[in-house]
Amino acid sequence: MADAIELFDSSIAIENCRAQSEAGAGILISGTKSAPTLLRNQCRQNKQGGISFEHGARGKAENNVCEENQYAGIMARGTGTSPELVNNQCRGNELTGILFKQGAQGKAESNVCEQNKQDGILVSDSGTSPELVNNQCSGNEHFGIEFYDAHGRAERNASEQNHWSGIAVSGSDAAPELASNQCRNNEVDGILFQNGAHGKAERNVCERNKDSGISVIGSGAAPELTNNQCRSNAYAGIYFESGSNGKAESNLCEGNATSGIIINASSPYLSANRLLDNAHYGLVYGKSSKPTFGAKNAFAGNGKGNALTNATFTN
């Protein structure tokens, strides 16, 4: 494989370069002794990724433009790999804007990941656990941010107008922390937990999404949802479905097009939520659901009443 620029166990600086390869990556950094600084480079239309950190590499990539690559804009792969990715622009890549996989760590901060053919940022595989802070992930074909069987933390990111959900957490090994993110105007949910996912979602704002603010779907899915604001979504503020569990505590579900919290064949714990001014009910669940309750939930201004406890679901 012929990469345009390849560094092995090197800590040089690469600045203001154009890196393009018809066979490999634009810039490849590998080896546990590698900690280069990559500044203001343009990595476009590479056969693989724009920039790739592998095999224990560290270093910093800042203010680079990684566009229209055939894999990810920037990738960190492998145990011990731990780059710092700051203020990069990752657009129009065939896979994702930024990819952490196979046990990589590191930090992605203040990057723009837009209009990628799959996710804005993808965190994949057991042992992978980066920190994602203040990134802008919008207009991507799949999710804005996705954790697949991975851990890590996503904080203060804006994940908006993505074709699927704003943030997705999938798989039984997934247990990230999601805090203070803005998930607005996505084509499905603001935040989605599915396929056995765990984790925590706290202080997120999920507004004007075309399905629910937060959805928890499938047997084994059991996140902790605390102090989130779920407003003006086209379905529910928070939705539990298909055998899911978890906790919803001290959330605000306001002004949603159906009900504040809907529980369909699931058994979450609900405590001290505020369910206000929703078009139908504050809370809805049917006979196949077994919710449990802690501190009293607050109801006001819901169009059809506080709660419907014998609902029938057609889906």
User: Is the pLDDT confidence value at 311 over 90?
Assistant: no
pLDDT of residue 1: 57
Q: Is 176 exposed, middle or buried (0-12, 13-18, 19+ CB in 10 A)?
A: buried
Asked, for residue 55, whether it belongs to a domain, the answer is no
Terminal Cα-to-Cα distance of the chain (whole angstroms): 49
Residue 22 lies in a domain: no
Q: How would residue 312 be classed by pLDDT, with cut points 50, 70 and 90? A: confident
Asked if the structure places residue 228 within a domain, the reply is: yes
Do the domain assignments include residue 38? no
Quick check: is 143 in a domain?
yes
- Residues paired with 196 in a beta bridge: none
pLDDT tens digit sequence for 244-302: 999 999 999 999 999 999 999 999 999 999 999 999 999 999 899 999 999 999 999 99
CATH number of 235's domain: 2.160.20.10
Mean pLDDT value across residues 28-37: 97
Domain that holds residue 160: 87-308
Taking the mean position of all CA atoms in its chain, how far away is CA 123? 9
Compute the average pLDDT of residues 32-52.
97
Q: Can you give the pLDDT at residue 299?
A: 98
pLDDT at 97 over 80: yes
pLDDT of residue 314: 76
CB-facing half-sphere around the CA of 299: CA atoms within 13 A: 17
Is 237 within the bounds of a domain? yes
Q: Considering the domain boundaries, does residue 47 fall inside one?
A: no
Q: Looking at residue 158, what is its pLDDT?
A: 98
Q: Given pLDDT bands bounded at 50, 70 and 90, which one contains residue 2?
A: confident
* Element of type H or E holding 283: strand 281-285
Asked whether residue 59 is domain-assigned, the answer is no
Indicate the pTM of the whole model: 0.97
pLDDT tens digit sequence for 215-245: 999 999 999 999 999 999 999 999 999 999 9
On average, the pLDDT of the chain sits at 97
Whether pLDDT at 313 is above 90: no
| Nearest C-alpha neighbor of 157 from the set 211, 194, 107, 199 | 107
Per-residue pLDDT tens for 187-212?
999 999 999 999 999 999 999 999 99
For residue 125, the number of C-alpha atoms closer than 13 Å in the C-beta half-sphere is: 13
The Cα 113–Cα 18 span in angstroms is: 20
Predicted confidence at residue 315, as pLDDT, reads 58
Number of domains comprising the chain:
1
